[in-house]
Amino acid sequence: MKMGRLVLVVGPSGAGKDTLIRGARRQLGDDPRFVFVRRAITRASSVDEECIELDRERFATLAAEGAFTLHWTAHGLSYGLPRAIEDALKEGHIVVANVSRGVVQEARDRFKESFVIEVTASDAELARRLAQRARPEDGDLNRRFARRTEVSALQPDAKIFNDTTPENSTSGFVRLLCDLADAHA
Ligand SMILES: Nc1ncnc2c1ncn2[C@@H]1O[C@H](COP(=O)(O)OP(=O)(O)OP(=O)(O)O)[C@@H](O)[C@H]1O
Ligand SMILES: O=P(O)(O)OC[C@H]1O[C@H](OP(=O)(O)O)[C@H](O)[C@@H]1O
């Protein structure tokens, strides 16, 4: 069977990664070509993202046991993609995950069929959205905002400038995912 593709959705905090992924899951969730990854995170789930909630100790244990395909820390939190995504890739699925820009190189080295989509928005929009979202676990919003330029640059395979409506950007994202799946068939 042909190996699937790992689609990495990256970009600064507040750009709209979770919004686009949530919208795409609503439209494509029943389409067997796609798998939308539920991340393990050391925080509670929220309306923005349902995650596998782990405390720090459990996360560290699982990471040491090799339970995550990719894992990273950011904003004082730990994040991981469960190892099960590798089975989904072997089964030929298009696997979609929100990850740190900091793991893109490692992912590209390990998964030749990875495809990186960078989601961005203007600085003014990022700042406005972070303030408006007001998620208790987000910590210092100035630090989050500053990080937009602190993580090393990368060369994405596609870019979505999410500065219009979420519906508009979600349509573009869904189209991109469907084009990828069609080209991969
Ligand atoms: N096009 C848009 N117009 C207006 N608001 C938006 C748009 N896209 C997303 N938002 C809002 O901006 C906030 C941040 O979006 P979201 O959580 O999807 O970003 P993110 O990139 O996943 O951020 P993080 O990396 O911090 O998880 C949310 O409150 C969301 O509703
Ligand atoms: O800045 P970089 O390293 O690219 O991204 C760091 C992390 O921040 C965001 O998480 P959250 O959902 O806002 O906590 C992203 O999803 C990523 O996991």
Q: What CA–CA distance (Å, rounded) separates 148 from 119?
A: 12
Residue 184 has pLDDT above 90, yes or no: no
Answer yes or no: are the C-beta atoms of 109 and 103 closer than 8 Å. no
Residue 152 has pLDDT above 80, yes or no: no
The tally of CA atoms less than 13 A away on the side-chain side of residue 181 is 16
Q: What CA–CA distance (Å, rounded) separates 61 from 39?
A: 16
Burial class (CB in 10 A: 0-12, 13-18, 19+), 157: middle
- The residue whose CA has the least distance to atom 10 of ligand 1 is 16
- Answer CATH for 5-37+92-184 from 1.10.3720.10, 3.40.800.10, 1.10.510.10, 3.40.50.300: 3.40.50.300
Query: Ligand 1: which of 129, 147, 161 to mutate, most ligand atoms within 8 Å of CB?
Result: 129
- The residue whose CA has the least distance to atom 16 of ligand 1 is 16
- The residue whose CA has the least distance to atom 12 of ligand 1 is 129
Structure tokens at 65: 């046991």
* Tens digit of each residue's pLDDT (9 = 90 or more) over 101-141: 999 999 999 998 899 999 999 999 999 999 998 787 788 89
Q: What CA–CA distance (Å, rounded) separates 55 from 64?
A: 14
* Tens digit of each residue's pLDDT (9 = 90 or more) over 166-180: 999 999 999 999 999
3 CA to centre of ligand 1 in angstroms: 31
Percent of the chain at pLDDT > 90 equals: 86
- Break the chain into its structural domains and give their ranges: 5-37+92-184
* Whole-number pLDDT of residue 158: 96
Residues of the chain by 3-state class (helix, strand, coil), percent to 5: 45, 25, 35
Q: What CA–CA distance (Å, rounded) separates 27 from 16?
A: 17
Q: Supply the ipTM of this predicted assembly.
A: 0.95
108 CA to centre of ligand 2 in angstroms: 18
Residue 17 has pLDDT above 80, yes or no: yes
Q: What CA–CA distance (Å, rounded) separates 81 from 19?
A: 18
DSSP state of 148: G
- Record the pTM: 0.96
Mean pLDDT of 5-30: 96
Which stretch of DSSP H or E encloses residue 65?
A: helix 56-65
**Rounded to the nearest 5 degrees, what angle is found at the Cα of 102, between the Cα atoms of 84 and 79?**
45
* Tens digit of each residue's pLDDT (9 = 90 or more) over 74-109: 989 999 999 999 999 999 999 999 999 999 999 999
